[in-house]
């Protein structure tokens, strides 16, 4: 195996499928999506065809499958650990549409062996028929886009649901026996007081979900929110208030038994998201659909064109519409540091040294010593078995700390 690891054609154990359709454009969102729902069938056909093209482009020798004809190579299906349908809003697909995509995946992968099959859903799409349908397709985890339990706030976010609908969706999913249920909550939204956020968090925790994610609002170019800020129609909240909300989030969720296993992700013990954990552990995955990203588990990343029509056209002409990059040593080191600092398990010195050498480890030791101690859980740099972990205060400045530790050439 060379420096870059095995060839890109190795089939990964995780699949992400990007469904780029939404009912409304949320004011803060910069994901790739369209609110025109007309071309769904063409797009879904292209997504399934993308998977076919990827499989047919494999170097079968690399799979240990030898020189057999393609029809017979594929006797047993490829194992799949996690399947994640995100977007966009995959829950707006009809059962027929969703079934079509899942069957397309099932042509190549063993769906019976999937450990975690997540579907992102928005509250307005959750009803008894759909929930039963999702279950029958093998979905065993729902990630529900709630964002807030405050109607005024949801209206300003331009969400397609109100708080009542979110509560109804949660009730329905719990009654239907979805044990693995996650929801999203945004903090740092303008014109919201500390009390407003405390109320949101309090309600989120009262549902006793196995998992939730809470993200700080960011002002992304090309969003409605970005223009509102630039035109002084809304003002970003102060850094102090964001910090206060963040500290509250960590402290209160911990007191309810949640482990902040990643900087924005909170789980009851044993309910950490398997798919996302595969990303953070550096495992290979394929992303299907426009704008979806893929990784070979070593140095190669690729991303599909973020344009539905161009994506479809390229697939129809038999091409994979992706751009590829191979990470340099420095880029890989930086990425490893950045991800490790976001995880509660922290940065493992032994693994970092094995992968990147002792010089790099020495270099970041010096820099850490020059930083405020309160940013870290008790430091013990002399003992390589004690990982570097950020304290709650350090998590508030995690990106800054990571950049300070990046390789010199960055
Ligand atoms: S539903 Fe989700 S993906 Fe669609 S616009 Fe809103 S936040 Fe973005």
The CATH number given to whatever domain includes residue 365 is 1.10.10
Rounded average pLDDT over 363-385: 93
Backbone angles phi, psi at 407, to 5 degrees: -55, 150
Q: Which domain holds residue 159?
A: 14-280
Backbone angles phi, psi at 308, to 5 degrees: -60, -50
Residues 171 and 236 in one domain: yes
pLDDT of 117? 98
- 235: confidence class by pLDDT, cuts 50, 70, 90: confident
Q: How far apart are CA 120 and CA 22, in angstroms?
A: 12
Q: 194 is written with which tokens?
A: 């500390």
Instruction: Report whether pLDDT(2) > 70.
Output: no
Q: 165 is written with which tokens?
A: 């609908």
What residues line ligand 1, using a CB cutoff of 6 Å?
22, 25-26, 29, 31, 33, 87-89, 122, 145
Rounded average pLDDT over 90-119: 97
| Nearest-atom index, ligand 1, CA of 28 | 7
pLDDT of 408? 74
Residues 27 and 157 in one domain: yes
Q: How far apart are CA 256 and CA 204, in angstroms?
A: 11
- Residue 183 resides in a domain: yes
- Residue 291 resides in a domain: no
Residues 27 and 165 in one domain: yes
pLDDT of 157? 96
pLDDT of 72? 41
Q: Whose CA is nearest to atom 6 of ligand 1?
A: 26
Q: Whose CA is nearest to atom 8 of ligand 1?
A: 29
Ligand 1 center to 320 CA (angstroms): 26
Ligand 1 center to 198 CA (angstroms): 24
- Residue 42 resides in a domain: yes
Q: What is the DSSP string of 34-78?
A: BS--TTHHHHHHHHHHHHHHHHHTS-GGGGT-TT--HHHH-SSPE
Ligand 1 center to 88 CA (angstroms): 6
Contact criterion met (CB below 8 Å) for 82 and 275: yes
pLDDT of 153? 95
Contact criterion met (CB below 8 Å) for 76 and 110: yes
Q: What is the DSSP string of 290-356?
A: TT-EEE-SSSEEEEE-S-HHHHHHHHHTT---EEEEE--HHHHHHHHHHHHHHBTT-B-HHHHHHHH
pLDDT of 63? 53
Residues 207 and 346 in one domain: no
Residues 250 and 375 in one domain: no
What's the chain's average pLDDT?
92
Ligand 1 center to 105 CA (angstroms): 24
Residues 124 and 187 in one domain: yes
Backbone angles phi, psi at 216, to 5 degrees: -75, 135
Residues 243 and 355 in one domain: no
Helix (H) or strand (E) holding 380: none
| Nearest-atom index, ligand 1, CA of 30 | 8
- Residue 276 resides in a domain: yes
Residues 333 and 275 in one domain: no
User: Per the confidence metrics, is the pTM higher than 0.75?
Assistant: yes
CATH number assigned to the domain comprising residue 76? 3.80.30.20
Instruction: Report whether pLDDT(71) > 80.
Output: no
Rounded average pLDDT over 2-21: 72
| Nearest-atom index, ligand 1, CA of 159 | 6
* Structural domain count, the chain: 2
Ligand 1 center to 129 CA (angstroms): 23
Q: How far apart are CA 142 and CA 218, in angstroms?
A: 24
Query: Could you give the 3-state DSSP secondary structure of residue 110?
Result: strand
pLDDT of 228? 93
- Residue 311 resides in a domain: no
Residues 262 and 348 in one domain: no
Rounded average pLDDT over 137-148: 98
Give pLDDT tens digits for 287-330: 999 999 999 999 999 999 999 999 999 999 999 999 999 999 99
Rounded average pLDDT over 56-64: 66
Query: Where is pLDDT greater, at 353 or 72?
Result: 353
- Residue 236 resides in a domain: yes
Ligand 1 center to 33 CA (angstroms): 8
Residues 263 and 393 in one domain: no
pLDDT of 64? 53
- Residue 128 resides in a domain: yes
Among residues 280, 310, 343, which one ends one of the domains?
Answer: 280
Give pLDDT tens digits for 282-294: 999 999 999 999 9
Contact criterion met (CB below 8 Å) for 37 and 92: yes
Percent of the chain with pLDDT over 90: 87
Residues 379 and 255 in one domain: no
Rounded average pLDDT over 268-279: 97
- 4: confidence class by pLDDT, cuts 50, 70, 90: very low
Residues 208 and 335 in one domain: no
Rounded average pLDDT over 248-269: 97
pLDDT of 59? 65
Rg of the chain in Å (alpha carbons)? 22
- Residue 319 resides in a domain: no
Q: 20, 26, 160, 291: which to mutate for ligand 1, most atoms within 8 A of CB?
A: 26
Instruction: Report whether pLDDT(360) > 80.
Output: yes
């Amino acid at each position: 195996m060379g420096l870059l690891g095995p060839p890109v054609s190795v089939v990964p154990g995780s699949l992400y499928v990007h469904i780029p359709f939404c009912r409304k454009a949320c004011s803060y969102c910069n994901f790739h999506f369209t609110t025109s729902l007309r071309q769904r069938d063409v797009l879904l056909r292209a997504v399934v065809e993308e998977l076919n093209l990827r499989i047919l482009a494999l170097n079968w020798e690399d799979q240990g499958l030898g020189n057999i004809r393609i029809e017979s190579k594929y006797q047993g299906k490829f194992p799949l650990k996690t399947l994640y349908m995100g977007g966009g809003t995959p829950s707006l697909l009809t059962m027929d549409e969703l079934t079509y995509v899942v069957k397309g995946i099932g042509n190549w992968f063993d769906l019976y062996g999937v450990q975690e099959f997540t579907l992102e859903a928005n509250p307005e799409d959750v009803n008894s028929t759909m929930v039963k349908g999702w279950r029958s397709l093998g979905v065993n985890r729902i990630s529900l886009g709630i964002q807030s339990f405050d109607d005024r706030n949801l209206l300003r976010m331009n969400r397609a649901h109100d708080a009542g609908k979110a509560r109804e969706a949660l009730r329905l999913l719990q009654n239907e026996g979805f044990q693995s249920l996650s929801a999203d909550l945004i903090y740092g939204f303008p014109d919201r007081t500390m009390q407003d956020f405390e109320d949101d968090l309090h309600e989120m925790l009262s549902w006793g979900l196995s998992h939730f994610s809470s993200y700080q609002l960011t002002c992304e170019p090309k969003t409605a929110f970005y223009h509102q800020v630039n035109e002084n129609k809304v003002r970003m909240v102060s850094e102090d208030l964001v910090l206060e909300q963040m500290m509250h989030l960590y402290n209160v969720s911990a007191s309810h038994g949640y482990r902040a296993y990643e900087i924005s992700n909170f789980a009851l013990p044993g309910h950490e998201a398997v798919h996302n954990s595969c990303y953070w552990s550096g495992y290979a995955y394929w992303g299907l659909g426009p704008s979806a990203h893929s990784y070979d588990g070593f140095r190669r990343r690729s991303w599909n064109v973020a344009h539905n029509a161009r994506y479809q056209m390229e697939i129809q002409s038999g091409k994979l519409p992706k751009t590829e990059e191979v990470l340099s040593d420095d880029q890989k080191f930086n990425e490893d540091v950045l991800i490790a600092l976001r995880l509660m398990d922290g940065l493992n010195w032994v693994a970092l040294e094995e992968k990147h050498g002792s010089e790099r480890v020495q270099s970041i030791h010096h820099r850490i010593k020059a930083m405020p101690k309160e940013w870290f859980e008790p430091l013990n740099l002399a003992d390589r078995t004690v990982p570097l972990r950020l304290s709650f205060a350090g998590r508030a400045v995690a990106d800054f700390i990571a950049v300070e530790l990046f390789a010199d050439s960055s």
